[in-house]
Structure 1
Amino acid sequence: MKIVNGWICKIGRNRVIPTFGDIEIKNGIIRNIIPKRFSPKAISQTRNAKGIYNAAGAVITIPQVNFHDHFYSRLAKGLNIKGSMDSFHNILHNLWWKLDRALTKQMIEALAEMSVIESIKTGTTYIFDHHASMNAIDKSLDIIADKITSNNLRGVLCFESTDRDGGKIADKSLAENVRFVEKDNNDDLRAMLGLHASFTLSDDTLETASQIVRDYNLGIHIHLCEDTTDRVLSKEITGKYPVQRLTQYDLLNEKSILAHGIYLTNRDCDIIDESGSSLAFSPDSNLNNSVGTPDFIGLPESIPMLMGTDGMHANPGRSLKNVFLLMRGKGISFEETFHRISKIYFDQIAFVKSYFKDYPALTKGDRADLVIWDYTPPTPLTSNNFFGHYIYGVLERNPKAVIQSGKFLLKNKSLVGINEDKVNTNIYEQGEILYRKFSRM
């Protein structure tokens, strides 16, 4: 297969290097990149032929990565919520913790299908998912894994371990993480140890988690200081703040994702920095829950920063754009804001490569994983102005094609190999069952 007439945004030494030209793909690998002179006239005269896809001057990038998703939230649209939603703690009690107890394995299959479709349509083909279904724990990660790999995506999965439903459920959730780690997964799947948040985790559970992390050389995926609740209740219940507890049980390492990190002290940041752990931001969710937003500019630059969605949607690029706007809204200069956005972009590449060493840079010999955006630059595209095009152009459009391992997942904005009408029928059937069940809770 050959992709012609695209702005190929290669990665090299923490720079994006746009090159206009063609990409030759064979057996899922980029066999060659052929630079050529940009010519609108030549582009318009190019005809599609068998094995040739005309990008028609569009921008081509590496795939998006969602570093903090919740597939399990996808069916939670329009539910009949009883009880107050006037605080983050009440939102958890009256929506999310009811939802995860209501889910069945059939619902998990449907919500995973929904998540996969949404992800493909945003060019997100690498997903770090944090799952919860407290009455359908055993082998639930296999259901999600099957939907990810059967649709040619790649995932890093975990189950949310917590004591909020009692010690037996906590033990089962930890066991599901271990079972998935020990399973002979393929090259498209990896595992982490999922933990909810400090304020719903007992010392016994964290001690067991610590042993699992050591035994299997895992990173943890946990919500950290998303709201003041995490700090206040952790201190009240255990006598220690969240970061202190994670440090006590030696749970912080360079493979770990700490989601949110809104209410961190300077000492917390120093500890996180020393551990090598990464922070994952989901600004849309933070705004929706009225918990505030991270101090993006106050966080040490040496802490890796990643983008997630917290299950609000499937587009980490939208999250990045919103981080940009939040920083600008706080009066941070264009220069500093673009610097931070660039840092996040390259932090993400470094982190995902710690799980998938073959994550591409769009260079010869790489996996042919790429996104062709419905964006043709109206001005020259260079290394110096890439992020201006990315923030104001690319992320304002949708992909017109998504290729993973040399295969089209999306072509001319249409899904390839997925009967969306059939899938949507199943999604609605399970969603309706959930709606009725949730209304009775």
Structure 2
Amino acid sequence: MPNRILIENGTILTFGSPCRVLEGQALLIEDGVIRTLAPKGAIAGPFDKVLDATGQVVMPGLVNAHMHFYSTLVRGLGKAAPSRNFQEVLDNLWWRLDRKLGLDDVEVSAEVILADAVRKGTTTLVDHHASPFAVTGSLDRIAAAVKRAGVRACLCYEVSDRDGAAISEEGLQENAAFARRCASERDPQLRALFGLHAAFTLEDATLDRAAALGREVGTGFHVHVAEAASDVAANLERHGLTPVARLHAHGLLGPDSIAAHCVHATPADQELLAAAGTFVAHNPQSNLNNAVGIADVLGMCARGVRVGLGTDAMTVGMLEEIRVALWAQHLRQDNPSCAFMEIAGTLFARNPELATRLWGFPLGTLEEGAAADVILVDYHPPTRLDGNTVLGHLIFGLSQAAVDTTVCGGRILMERKVLVNGLDEARLAARSRELADALWDRF
């Protein structure tokens, strides 16, 4: 692969706080990192590759803070009974699906969605996996798909007691084994968290076992938290604590942990999340689709909670998700003029902070020394594009534009809208359809 790549003639958006807009600058990638940002013509050659970004915006590869690769093969499935509430969504669809997944399904499902992530400019994804009758080796199979796609992913297995003690223990061991692999290999594409489904499907003994194993292997935790009101009610009835308070009592919150959703986190819960430094992954499209509510992003941000943006497998297009996040917050707050900066911060500031913490080197920003995860997006701004207007362009304009080129770790994965990293989308789709037909028969 080319080692020294020069990107020139584009408008560079750095992300971070503040998101800077750089005109007339070129960007040099060398040894997988951004080596130099300098005026065009000031960077000495030779170059192995020059990418001409005329008529394009150059910005960091996008980060998805909460994803489920395993859900790909459910697309179009019409066998699930209609659901009247969130628990029925789980019972009728997702828990029926994950019990039927085999390891081949797991790997192909990941590979299909990762090819789409490259097309959408999403280069870093934090996944949360479940396949209770194909647990052992599932994270290695997903990791193999990640390696082939060329992106970065932080993986975990969602431990739950809903399928019995033996499967719960197998999930604990799968998390620990993959975390040890990542610690040993230090592969720049792969990281690990310790996965838990949700407090309402986990007994106290399992939470304690997970906390101990997580400390042993040195990871934080990734868990669904207060996604639906039923999660809160179940924990209060059985344990006398909200999900946030219960997870906190078992030592599962902290700056290395992700609490996904938090739709029904109370003000006291939000204070706990902020004090622990726990990262919250907001997933607005999923929450709306499941009719569980809209998270109080404004309240969490006001209390100092670090709120980022995930998709919960509804899409891998992060700029699509951020638009829905903004509209949803307007609806929740009954205020069409609120939350712009808070929502913009989820994707353009908090997600890069999360990825940087998980990987241990700068991700999600275009700055010297950061990982060379870069996308080129077709965009001719119809109004002034500068530091004062950039967020408006991202949400109202660039979100509708096409990604032209995707680079991750200095490796070109897509160039001029053609995947160049060996992924054959037609072959993948054919294999996926074959596996999906068999899966649907089992379902």
- Per the normalisation by structure 2, the TM-score is 0.92
Quote the residue 2:231 is aligned against: 230
The aligned runs of 1:346-385 (5 Å cut-off) are 346-356=349-359, 357-359=361-363, 361-385=365-389
Quote the residue 1:18 is aligned against: 21
Q: Which amino acid aligns with 1:98?
A: R
Deviations 1:255-283 (CA, angstroms, capped at 9, x unpaired): 11111111111111111111000111111
Distance 2:315 2:364 in 1: 24
Matched, 1:110 2:113: no
Quote the residue 1:325 is aligned against: 327
Q: Which amino acid aligns with 1:354?
A: R
Out of 386, 403, 406, the residue aligned to residue 402 of structure 1 is 406
How far has the Cα of 1:350 moved from its partner? 1.5
Q: Which amino acid aligns with 1:284?
A: Q
How far has the Cα of 1:54 moved from its partner? 1.6
Contact persistence 1:59–1:377 (CA under 8 A) = no
Distance 2:299 2:368 in 1: 38
Deviations 1:296-354 (CA, angstroms, capped at 9, x unpaired): 222243100111111112122222111112223444354x4222134322122222110
Contact persistence 2:157–2:174 (CA under 8 A) = yes
The aligned runs of 1:3-14 (5 Å cut-off) are 3-11=7-15, 14=17
Deviations 1:155-201 (CA, angstroms, capped at 9, x unpaired): 11100000000111111111100111111331221111100011100
Q: What RMSD over aligned residues (CA atoms) do the two structures have, in Å?
A: 1.8
The aligned runs of 1:284-363 (5 Å cut-off) are 284-301=285-302, 302-329=304-331, 330-332=333-335, 334=337, 336-344=338-346, 345-356=348-359, 357-359=361-363, 361-363=365-367
How far has the Cα of 1:149 moved from its partner? 1.9
Contact persistence 1:210–1:250 (CA under 8 A) = yes
Distance 1:83 1:10 in 2: 46
How far has the Cα of 1:414 moved from its partner? 1.6
Sequence identity (%)? 33
Matched, 1:424 2:426: no
Runs of 5+ consecutive residues of structure 2 not aligned to the other structure? 42-46
Distance 2:329 2:226 in 1: 20
How far has the Cα of 1:221 moved from its partner? 0.5
Q: Which amino acid aligns with 1:413?
A: K
Contact persistence 2:11–2:58 (CA under 8 A) = yes
How far has the Cα of 1:368 moved from its partner? 1.8
Contact persistence 1:80–1:435 (CA under 8 A) = no
Query: How many matched pairs?
Result: 425
Contact persistence 1:64–1:125 (CA under 8 A) = yes
Q: Which amino acid aligns with 1:432?
A: D
The aligned runs of 1:134-173 (5 Å cut-off) are 134-173=132-171
Q: Structure 1's 369 and 287: CA in aligned 2 closer, same or farther, altered over 3 A?
A: same
The aligned runs of 1:112-131 (5 Å cut-off) are 112-131=110-129
Q: Which amino acid aligns with 2:402?
A: N
Q: Which amino acid aligns with 1:296?
A: V
Q: Structure 1's 104 and 151: CA in aligned 2 closer, same or farther, altered over 3 A?
A: same
Quote the residue 1:281 is aligned against: 282
Distance 2:336 2:432 in 1: 44
How far has the Cα of 1:423 moved from its partner? 1.2
Distance 1:253 1:148 in 2: 27
Distance 2:15 2:320 in 1: 21
Distance 1:29 1:354 in 2: 17
Distance 2:14 2:233 in 1: 45
Deviations 1:38-80 (CA, angstroms, capped at 9, x unpaired): xxxxxxxxxxx98322211311111111110000111111223
Runs of 5+ consecutive residues of structure 1 not aligned to the other structure? 38-48
Q: Which amino acid aligns with 2:56?
A: A
Deviations 1:350-404 (CA, angstroms, capped at 9, x unpaired): 2211012131531234322111112222223211111011111111122111111
Contact persistence 1:254–1:277 (CA under 8 A) = yes
